[in-house]
Structure 1
Amino acid sequence: MTDAQRSHPRDFIASLEKGLKVLLCFERKHAKLNLSEVARLTGYTPATARRLLLTLHELDYLHSDGKRFWVAPRTLLLARSYLMSRPAPQVAQPVLDKLADRTRQSASLGLLLDHEVLIIARSTGRRTLSTGLGIGSRLPAFCSALGRAVLSTLPREEVVSYLATTPLDPWTPKTVQDIASATGQVEHCRTFGWAECDEELELGVRSIAVPISSISDKTIAAVSLSVRAERMSMEAFRAAHLAAIREARDELRATVTFD
């Protein structure tokens, strides 16, 4: 974040920003990290990364074996504050539960956050997927159905600019790896009203997402459904469940306030 983007740059505490950035380094792909890995992921010097890691360890937000660090249970208190105080996850959960129960698949609600989609509510159907996604999981916006759905209502020039600054790292051999292909997927959602991800995040998993718009038509979130690829083709997936996803979208749009 630049000073121009901060409303009160003189009041901005850079050290707090750095500490939070270190915490956000840890995810499923980076469950345990050493000093050099944290420095590389954050762009901080090893000396700065070391001080931040040791401070977070002292505060019990990180655990360590002396070489590597990992997130401690105390970090759940940060997420709990949002889940308990904001209405969106609580109001959305019954809608997702109904969608998951109706389709027997896994349903998710996500918001665009930086270059990723943050899942704020999720319901797992009877046929559990292997992705291990949960509330707080982050997905790449450029190749996820949720991300493409949310991006689809941005102006085209903003989408191109957004994708140009996004690392298009391959998650599977099927992941799109160029801006033209990624933009094309977003344009597909803009035209047809739904986005898809066909084994681009995980082999064997297909997803469809529909954007959720406010009255002013500004997209604020998206709802998705995921199935195992061996159970149905993408065409069969759309035929069987797209209507149910759209019904959940309509219910979420009428009942959930995102702020």
Structure 2
Amino acid sequence: MGETHRSHPRDFIGSLEKGFRVLLSFERKHSKLTLSDVARLTGYTPAAARRLLLTLQELDYLHSDGKYFWVAPRTLLLARPYLMSRPAPEMAQPVLDKLADGTRQSASLGVLLDQEVLIIARSTGRRTLSTGLGIGSRLPVFCSAMGRAVLSTFPPNEVMRHLAATPLDPWTPKTVRGLASAAAEVEHCRKFGWAECDEELEMGVRSIALPIKSSSDKTIAAISLSVRAERMTMGEFRQAHLGAVQQARDALRAIVSFD
């Protein structure tokens, strides 16, 4: 966030922002990082990255073997206040559990966070997937079904703004390429009401998603269902389970507030 967008720039503590940015550089694709990796991912100088890493290690938010750094269990405490104080994850869980049990697939609820979708609730059916997704996982908005679903209710110029600010790096050989193609996938959801991701995030995994509007009529969330590609084609997937996802979406919209 640029300083021009901060309501109280004089009260802003830049070092705190930098510390959080270092922590957020660790993810599924970057579970262990060197000092040089962190400097590259954050844009900080090696000297600044080193001080931040060592401070976080001293506070027990990071562990290290002298070369690589990785997140420590203490980082879970940062998510606990949200999970304990906000009703959305707790209220959504029974709905996701019912959807997962009924379809025997994996269901997720995500919210838009900058240029990513953050999973805040998830239920895995009896047929588990290999994605390793869980609460707190982040998905790229441009090639995930949930990202496309959320963006589909935004004005076209805002969609392009989000996509233009997103690194369009391919996750698999099937990941959509280019800004125009990414925008076309969002328009598909705008037209039909559902979005899809066909092995674009992980080979062998297909997903469909629907947007969920908040009480203020703003779309910031989406619900998705995922299936192993060998079990059914995308067309068979939609035919078999789209109705169940729509019912779950309607149930969530009636009981959960995302404002």
Alignment TM-score, normalising by the size of structure 1: 0.99
Q: 1:174 deviation in Å?
A: 0.3
- Asked whether 1:63 is paired with 2:63, we answer yes
The residue that corresponds to 2:125 in the other structure is 125
Deviations 1:171-195 (A, max 9, x none): 0000011011100000011111000
Deviations 1:74-128 (A, max 9, x none): 0000111111111110000000000000100000000011111000000000000
Separation in structure 1 between the aligned mates of residue 168 and residue 214 of structure 2, nearest angstrom: 29
Percent identity over paired residues: 80
State the secondary structure of the residue aligned to 2:252.
Answer: helix
Question: After TM superposition, where is structure 1 displaced by more than 3 Å over at least 4 residues in a row?
Answer: none
- Asked whether 1:97 is paired with 2:128, we answer no
Separation in structure 2 between the aligned mates of residue 178 and residue 2 of structure 1, nearest angstrom: 26
The residue that corresponds to 1:19 in the other structure is 19
State the secondary structure of the residue aligned to 2:258.
Answer: coil
Separation in structure 1 between the aligned mates of residue 183 and residue 217 of structure 2, nearest angstrom: 20
Q: 1:216 deviation in Å?
A: 4.3
For structure 2, the residue ranges without an aligned partner over 5 or more in a row are none
The residue that corresponds to 2:180 in the other structure is 180
The residue that corresponds to 1:8 in the other structure is 8
The residue that corresponds to 1:78 in the other structure is 78
The residue that corresponds to 1:203 in the other structure is 203
Corresponding pairs, count: 259
The residue that corresponds to 1:159 in the other structure is 159
Contact 2:209–2:223 (Cα < 8 Å) also in 1: yes
Separation in structure 1 between the aligned mates of residue 162 and residue 73 of structure 2, nearest angstrom: 34
Separation in structure 2 between the aligned mates of residue 165 and residue 18 of structure 1, nearest angstrom: 20
The residue that corresponds to 1:51 in the other structure is 51
Separation in structure 2 between the aligned mates of residue 29 and residue 214 of structure 1, nearest angstrom: 31
Contact 2:215–2:257 (Cα < 8 Å) also in 1: no
Q: 1:220 deviation in Å?
A: 2.0
Amino acid at match of 1:89: P
The residue that corresponds to 1:146 in the other structure is 146
RMSD: 0.8
Q: 1:217 deviation in Å?
A: 3.0
State the secondary structure of the residue aligned to 2:197.
Answer: strand
Separation in structure 2 between the aligned mates of residue 83 and residue 106 of structure 1, nearest angstrom: 20
State the secondary structure of the residue aligned to 1:29.
Answer: coil
The residue that corresponds to 1:30 in the other structure is 30
The residue that corresponds to 1:250 in the other structure is 250
State the secondary structure of the residue aligned to 1:226.
Answer: strand
Q: 1:258 deviation in Å?
A: 1.4
State the secondary structure of the residue aligned to 1:133.
Answer: coil
Q: 1:218 deviation in Å?
A: 1.5
State the secondary structure of the residue aligned to 2:109.
Answer: strand
Equivalent positions of 1:198-237 (< 5 A) are 198-237=198-237
Amino acid at match of 1:87: P
For structure 1, the residue ranges without an aligned partner over 5 or more in a row are none
Separation in structure 1 between the aligned mates of residue 175 and residue 217 of structure 2, nearest angstrom: 29
Q: 1:214 deviation in Å?
A: 2.6
Contact 2:215–2:258 (Cα < 8 Å) also in 1: no
